[in-house]
Structure 1
Amino acid sequence: MVSTLPDPRTHAHHPDTRMAEEGLRGQLTGTDWTYVVPQPSAATARLTLRAAPRADAAQVTEALPGEALERLWEDGHGWAYVRTLHDRYLGWTPAAGLGAPLESETLTVTALRAHAFARPKVSQPIVGELCLGARVARAPGEVAEEGGRRWVPVSLPDGTVAWVGEAVLSPLTDADPAELALRFVDTPYVWGGRSAWGLDCSGLTQLAFSAFGQPLPRDADQQQEALEAVTTLRRGDLAFFPGHVGIMLDERRMVHANATHMRVTIETLGEGEYGQRLQAGCTGFGRWTA
């Protein structure tokens, strides 16, 4: 018996329905739990994960196209309870948006935003929306050249065969999460968002670091707990505030997605009314270490 339940953001257990994931067997109070073995799945498009199985429930995070998921259980009304595998975050999403995991050679999208086309030409119909971190499968066939552009045949997570510009898949250089975060400036703020179509504060930090193989948990408090606390700042350190996080560009400037400006902006701690409020509310700084 335990006195404190595991974090419900990352450990699947619903006291009202008495459903729980198999990994929690023996850790929950009571004998009337139904334990479920998670099943591999994937997002067929950019999926909203919500706090409850309702379209009007708050978005808690997003699953990017092709991202690996675990399907836990369904509510009987078209909603599935799933976990994003990379950070183990839980939420409800329409079951129709789930597909089989990508099995063939996979490619990672490195453009902030991108589209997939029906054929290798920019005037062709758009058949898919992609974003930084999305994954597609390499489809059979050779790279096509058209108008000086190179097109790669891919299979989208929903099975659609399409073409994407080779530049959309170009490797990122210079592992500098702060520099990558700067490319998101003016991206709209969206609670629970994790893409350049809209993101929140911890979604920005998670994306910027994961692009270079430096995984972070989903929420700001989880990120602060996971990182090494520091007092002497350098570029790329994270600054933490109650329910908020940003990436330091130097000892004073910070890039962050914020609901004050409803977009990604650059602030100077201690400068101006907003900067002064940020500095006064700062709870510490953290550094990603291998």
Structure 2
Amino acid sequence: MSELDLRVHAVHTERGVVEPALVGQFPTLRVLAPRTVYAAGQIPLHARPDGTSPQVTEALHGEALELLEELPGGWSWVRTLHDGYLGYAQTGNPSDLAPVQPVTVQIPRSHLFAAPSIKAPILARLGRGATLASLDSQPVRHGDYLWWRVAFEEGEAYLHDAASQAASDLPAFAEGYLHTPYVWGGRTAWGLDCSGLAQLWAGRDFQGKDKQGRSRLPRDADQQQAATTPVEKPEAGDLAFFEGHVGIMLSGGRMLHANATHLRVTVETLGEGEYGRRLEAGLLGFGRIGTDE
């Protein structure tokens, strides 16, 4: 039996549990009964059911999760269904129902307001990919702006229509995320890591997912390298891979990446300057993201 990748395969021998897909390999373990829920708010997923353990990824508001196992202290073992990644989260009160008439945030950062006014109290901050249930079939004008009226917690809230519109070209994407703080396991413009940035770029169309609801790229850099098509000469938008790291190629050897060296998203030119030379020396290759047909 080949070694399982425990980032995506749900088996925990100490707790004696296994997901249904792996029961044939672990017939003596208790089989879990997963159910799909939808995240309420932006939820950090941790390496262990302990808030002091590292964050491994995030679930965005309205994103589908597979709830595998409920644990003491309000913790749950969950899987982010768009990329199959496992972690432990305090999910609060997730919804069992998918958002109806969904509206998805398409800009890097946005806010949810208590009323259709830019002066209204802010109820939540939202990153690109957060999905809400619209209570109307289209945005409604209030004053100078169009607003989406959406369901939020036990009531309603308002999302500026500009948040649901975004350009998907590479220069606009790079401008939108440049200088974003580096956060291990982060997936939004409030803070992200290298592979989180690559996922956002890969998912600029179809709200980050294919027609079956899966991300075009898995979560981590090594998984992403395995999922892309190797190329010798990169074009703008291709990915550059290093040991435990990934960047997005722009042009002329320039690369956009979230990095712990500068603790933010920066642009480097491979082979130029001390950092650029170190990056070039550690380059493992380039990969091209597949497209949906």
Structures share fold, TM-score greater than 0.5: yes
Alignment TM class, shorter chain as reference: over 0.9
Comparing 274-283 and 13-22, the one that deviates more: 13-22
- Cα RMSD (Å): 1.6
Partner of 2:18: 20
Q: Secondary structure at the match of 1:49?
A: strand
Partner of 1:8: 6
Counterpart residue identity of residue 162, structure 1: A
1:196 to 189, 200, 223: 189
Task: Kindly state the Cα deviation for residue 85 of structure 1 after the two structures are TM-superposed.
Answer: 0.5
- Give CA-to-partner distance per residue, 1:95-132, whole Å, 9 cap, x none: 31533232411111012111111111111111122110
Partner of 2:288: 287
| TM-score, normalisation: structure 1 | 0.93
Counterpart residue identity of residue 17, structure 1: R
Is the 1:220–1:245 Cα contact (8 Å) retained in structure 2?
A: yes
Change (3 A) 1:255 1:161: same
Partner of 2:113: 117
Aligned positions of 1:256-267 closer than 5 A = 256-267=257-268
Aligned positions of 1:241-260 closer than 5 A = 241-260=242-261
Change (3 A) 1:68 1:177: farther
How many matched pairs?
283
Is the 2:62–2:99 Cα contact (8 Å) retained in structure 1?
A: no
Partner of 2:219: 218
Question: How many angstroms apart in 1 are the aligned matches of 2:92 and 2:108?
Answer: 26
- Give CA-to-partner distance per residue, 1:61-120, whole Å, 9 cap, x none: 000111111100022221000000100000000131533232411111012111111111
| TM-score, normalisation: structure 2 | 0.92
Is the 1:233–1:251 Cα contact (8 Å) retained in structure 2?
A: no
Is the 1:178–1:236 Cα contact (8 Å) retained in structure 2?
A: no
Is it true that 1:105 corresponds to 2:101 in the alignment?
yes
- Give CA-to-partner distance per residue, 1:32-61, whole Å, 9 cap, x none: 201112101111011100000001000000
Aligned positions of 1:79-98 closer than 5 A = 79-96=75-92, 98=94
Any gaps of 5 or more consecutive residues in structure 1?
A: none
Aligned positions of 1:14-93 closer than 5 A = 14-28=12-26, 31-93=27-89
Question: How many angstroms apart in 1 are the aligned matches of 2:223 and 2:195?
Answer: 10
Q: Secondary structure at the match of 2:110?
A: strand
Task: Kindly state the Cα deviation for residue 178 of structure 1 after the two structures are TM-superposed.
Answer: 6.0
Q: Secondary structure at the match of 1:56?
A: coil
Is the 1:181–1:205 Cα contact (8 Å) retained in structure 2?
A: no
1:139 to 132, 135, 138: 135
Partner of 1:184: 177
Question: How many angstroms apart in 2 are the aligned matches of 1:121 and 1:211?
Answer: 28
Counterpart residue identity of residue 181, structure 1: A
Counterpart residue identity of residue 128, structure 2: L
Question: How many angstroms apart in 2 are the aligned matches of 1:134 and 1:124?
Answer: 20
Counterpart residue identity of residue 269, structure 1: L
Is it true that 1:163 corresponds to 2:164 in the alignment?
no
Q: Secondary structure at the match of 1:95?
A: coil
Change (3 A) 1:240 1:143: closer
Question: How many angstroms apart in 2 are the aligned matches of 1:257 and 1:97?
Answer: 32
Question: How many angstroms apart in 2 are the aligned matches of 1:51 and 1:14?
Answer: 13
Change (3 A) 1:22 1:181: farther
Question: How many angstroms apart in 2 are the aligned matches of 1:155 and 1:16?
Answer: 40
Task: Kindly state the Cα deviation for residue 272 of structure 1 after the two structures are TM-superposed.
Answer: 0.4
Change (3 A) 1:160 1:266: farther
Task: Kindly state the Cα deviation for residue 179 of structure 1 after the two structures are TM-superposed.
Answer: 4.1
Any gaps of 5 or more consecutive residues in structure 2?
A: 209-215
Question: How many angstroms apart in 1 are the aligned matches of 2:280 and 2:201?
Answer: 23
Counterpart residue identity of residue 191, structure 1: W
- Give CA-to-partner distance per residue, 1:214-240, whole Å, 9 cap, x none: 611100000000000010111011000
